[in-house]
Amino acid sequence: SADGAEPRPAGPAPVGGAAKASNKLLVRNVPFEASKPELRDLFSAFGQLKTLRMPKKFDGSHRGFAFVEFVSKAEAGKAMARLDGTHLYGRHLVLGYAKKEDTVEAMRDKLRAQMGAAGGGKRRKKG
């Protein structure tokens, strides 16, 4: 061009700080009334699910988040685009791509570290 300006690449700018696209989504703000079959029905509309995990508390109720793993990144991307911010039982679902450190084990270790002296995950029997 005459003014020497560089041509700009087409398409939206990448969002800063977002996890890299993967086939695994982290779903936050899951209402406690929501069941695993309900989430499976909701997400399977966008592709074939490989796994769906809802980490549980000691009392058996889930902890308000879930991991949804699709067979392909494209399916996960479709679900992310369509379901982020969707209402479920009056709560907005918050979707993000799960990072490698977002495994249940890593989150459990992080929680234990935060709880520290406040007493860890295992309950002691009173004798």
pLDDT digits (tens, 9 = 90+) for 59-99: 999 999 999 999 999 999 999 999 999 999 999 999 999 88
β-strands 24-28, 65-70 pairing: antiparallel
pLDDT tens per residue across span 34-62: 999 999 999 999 999 999 999 999 999 99
Report d(CA 70, CA 15) in Å as an integer: 22
This prediction's pTM: 0.67
Report d(CA 101, CA 91) in Å as an integer: 26
Q: What is the DSSP letter of 27?
A: E
SS3 124: coil
From the list 21, 69, 64, 20, the residue with the least C-alpha distance to 43 is 69
Report d(CA 75, CA 63) in Å as an integer: 25
Residue reference for tokens 């949804």: 68
What would you report as the CA-atom Rg of the chain, rounded to the nearest whole angstrom?
Answer: 19
Q: How confident is the model at residue 119 (pLDDT cuts 50, 70, 90)?
A: low
